[in-house]
């Protein structure tokens, strides 16, 4: 049996077949819609990745798209003129071109034209849908419910230091006619382009960390085209403003309708200068209230001073009248007192002489008293010595007699005379009542002592009586 031959194609043959099939289906080219997922430039050519997503945002299909350098200027200029924006990643676009499969680079869509109206319509639809959703969530009302401080002086500004709008805002505030001083701190952010959302959110986060140091947040930039303001239709910025603890004021452009950022802000104005005027006008109400209060205080003070002046004048008149009345009523008393005062020198002189004589008399009496007391003291001293000698003499005789008595009653001397002394438990035995049968006693004699025990105790009342008599 003959071996069956297998039919095989080369890659270039397959590519040719694909191109023929594509040409037959899309002979004159076709319009392609999708979202730009990525975009890069190389040697003047642009390479894009176009994707199709479902409602959840998941990629369902993708296709590589190429814009030759010869078509770049036309495509980008047409889009910008039609939309007022630059072609960027994330935009929904409608390209016209043709599909081609290359042996080395695969399947690509080559762009020849673009329909700006499609992008404008899609952007408008997405923007309106976002506005509707945020409005239903109440995002546009949150920041508006915050109360502005009575005076706005500490201002956190989100802008670019090179933005003309920022310079106008600062200059207008500092040159205000009422002389209010403002503390202005800039938090740098991009005001256009793809980094606007990211840097504005970063600036809000920095301010939030020190929110107590500021009264309000201001987002300002200069005027510009619609493309410059597209970034402020950001859902993330709107939500950040809604949840911010400080009122947010915006002045981000005047060439289009309100951005979504404007809608979420506490107060939105067209230009940075308008924001400055709003703040100055707001503060003027407070200044005006202070001026009116000052005028009322001055008026009240003048009225009070006038009333007090009149009261003092009345008191002065009444006091003068009272003094005059008192003077005339007591004039005679005053005259008598004056007459007495005229005699005072003579009275004082007499009192001085009397006092001098009294002092001399006291000195003399004191000397006499001192001499008498001195004599008395000498006499008492002599009497004291005589009494001491007599006392010692008397007591010396008493001591001699006492010594004789003590010597006569010396126990040793008594023992020598043949008497004994009996002790029981170390104490002198004076009565048989102290004894008990069998109790040991000590009997002292002149030359020693005798220890004995009682065998019988005989109590003799008569002897007790006789002994007491003795």
What per-residue confidence (pLDDT) applies to 424?
83
Q: Is the pLDDT of residue 199 over 80?
A: yes
Strand order in the sheet with 216-220: 183-188, 154-159, 216-220, 248-251, 267-268
User: Is 422 within 8 Å of 442 (Cβ atoms)?
Assistant: yes
Q: What percentage of the chain carries pLDDT values higher than 70?
A: 91
- The DSSP 8-state label assigned to residue 433 in this structure reads G
What per-residue confidence (pLDDT) applies to 298?
76
Interval 358-387: pLDDT, tens: 888 777 877 888 788 888 888 887 887 777
For 146-184, give the DSSP string.
Answer: SPPPSS--EEEEEE-TT-HHHHHHHHHHHT-TT----EE
Which tops the pLDDT comparison, 436 or 94? 94
Rounded CA gap, 229 and 252, in Å?
A: 8
Which tops the pLDDT comparison, 32 or 373? 32
User: Is 107 within 8 Å of 83 (Cβ atoms)?
Assistant: no
Rounded CA gap, 396 and 320, in Å?
A: 97
Interval 36-72: pLDDT, tens: 999 999 999 999 999 988 877 788 899 999 999 999 9
Q: Which of 146-150, 397-401, 455-459 has the highest mean pLDDT?
A: 146-150
Q: What percentage of the chain carries pLDDT values higher than 90?
A: 31
Q: Point out the least confidently predicted range of 180-189, 342-351, 446-455.
A: 342-351
Interval 282-317: pLDDT, tens: 988 888 766 777 777 877 777 788 788 888 888 888
Interval 266-280: pLDDT, tens: 999 989 999 999 999
């Amino acid at each position: 049996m003959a071996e069956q031959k297998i039919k095989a194609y080369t890659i270039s043959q397959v590519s040719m077949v694909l191109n023929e099939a594509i040409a037959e289906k899309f002979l004159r080219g076709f319009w392609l819609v999708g979202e730009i997922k990525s975009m890069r430039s190389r040697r003047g050519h642009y390479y894009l990745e176009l994707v199709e997503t479902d409602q959840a945002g998941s990629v369902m299909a993708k296709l590589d798209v190429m814009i030759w350098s010869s078509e770049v200027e036309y495509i980008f200029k047409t889009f910008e003129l039609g939309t007022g924006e630059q072609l960027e990643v994330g935009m929904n676009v409608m390209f016209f071109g043709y599909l081609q499969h290359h042996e080395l680079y695969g399947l690509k869509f080559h762009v020849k034209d673009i329909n700006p109206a499609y992008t404008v319509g899609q952007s408008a639809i997405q923007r309106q849908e976002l506005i509707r959703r945020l409005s239903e969530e109440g995002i546009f009302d949150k920041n508006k419910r915050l109360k502005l401080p009575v005076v706005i002086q500490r201002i956190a500004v989100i802008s670019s230091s090179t933005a003309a709008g920022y310079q106008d805002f600062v200059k207008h505030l500092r040159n205000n006619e009422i002389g209010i001083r403002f503390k202005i701190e800039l938090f740098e952010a991009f005001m256009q382009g793809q980094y606007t959302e990211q840097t504005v959110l970063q600036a809000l986060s920095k301010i939030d960390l020190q929110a107590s140091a500021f009264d309000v947040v201001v987002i300002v930039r200069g005027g510009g085209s619609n493309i410059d303001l597209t970034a402020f239709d950001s859902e993330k910025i709107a939500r950040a403003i809604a949840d911010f603890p400080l009122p947010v004021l915006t002045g981000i452009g005047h060439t289009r309708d309100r951005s979504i950022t404007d809608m979420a802000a506490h107060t939105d104005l067209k230009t940075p200068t308008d924001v400055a005027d709003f703040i100055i006008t707001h503060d003027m109400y407070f200044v005006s209230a202070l001026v009116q209060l000052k005028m009322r205080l001055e008026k009240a003070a003048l009225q009070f001073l006038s009333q007090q002046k009149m009261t003092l004048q009345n008191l002065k008149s009444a006091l003068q009248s009272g003094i005059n009345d008192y003077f005339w009523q007591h004039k005679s008393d005053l005259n008598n007192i004056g007459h007495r005062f005229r005699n005072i020198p003579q009275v004082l002189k007499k009192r001085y002489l009397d006092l001098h004589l009294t002092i001399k008399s006291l000195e003399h009496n004191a000397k006499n008293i001192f001499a008498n007391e001195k004599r008395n003291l000498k006499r008492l001293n002599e009497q004291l010595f005589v009494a001491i000698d007599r006392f010692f003499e008397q007591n010396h005789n008493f001591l001699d007699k006492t010594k004789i008595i003590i010597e006569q009653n010396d126990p040793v001397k008594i023992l020598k005379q043949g008497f004994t002394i009996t002790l029981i438990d170390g104490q002198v035995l004076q009565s048989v009542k102290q004894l008990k049968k069998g109790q040991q006693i000590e009997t002292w004699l002149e030359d020693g002592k005798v220890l004995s025990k009682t065998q019988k105790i005989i109590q003799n009342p008569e002897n007790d009586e006789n002994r007491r008599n003795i």
